[in-house]
């Protein structure tokens, strides 16, 4: 999976377990705890916490990191909406490789879920 493979470029392991189980909550990623906080604030949608998360990441990591983080999030939302809108199912390799993570984060329970395994 792309996010897991991208961690190979930094001589470290990036895992959901590391993010969830780490005392720092950073997943082994530089500024990871601030990135997690930003993503959680984006999902929550409340303006105050979102603004605070943006400001804290900006102060710690700079504008380039903030813009990249928000752009990555926006791109994932865009790709999901395009795939949903066109009825594109997951390819078999992604379906098989992502089954455990989809169960763990309960994405299969979302009302907007369009993909239903055929097997």
* pLDDT higher than 80, residue 8: no
For the chain, report the end-to-end CA distance as a whole number of angstroms: 21
Q: Is the pLDDT of residue 15 over 70?
A: no
User: Region 41-45: what's the mean pLDDT?
Assistant: 86
pTM: 0.59
The Cα 61–Cα 69 span in angstroms is 11
pLDDT band for 95, please (50, 70, 90 cuts): confident
pLDDT of residue 114: 54
DSSP output for 36-100: HHHHHHHHH--HHHHHHHHHHHHHHH-HHHHHHHHHHHHHHHHHHHHHHHHTPPPPHHHHHHHHH
The tens digit of pLDDT for each residue in 71-83 reads 998 898 888 778 7
Domain layout of the chain by residue ranges: 2-109
Q: How far apart are CA 17 and CA 23, in angstroms?
A: 11
């Amino acid at each position: 999976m792309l996010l897991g493979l991208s961690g190979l470029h930094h001589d470290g392991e990036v895992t959901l377990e590391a993010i969830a189980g780490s005392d720092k909550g950073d997943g082994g990623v530089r500024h990871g705890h601030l990135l997690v906080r930003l993503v959680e604030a984006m999902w929550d949608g409340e303006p105050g916490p979102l603004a605070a998360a943006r400001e804290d990441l900006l102060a710690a990591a700079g504008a380039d990191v903030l813009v990249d983080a928000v752009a990555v999030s926006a791109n994932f939302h865009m790709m999901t909406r395009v795939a949903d809108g066109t009825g594109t199912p997951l390819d078999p390799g992604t379906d098989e490789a992502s089954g455990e993570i989809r169960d763990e984060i309960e994405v299969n329970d979302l009302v907007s879920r369009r993909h239903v395994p055929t097997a």
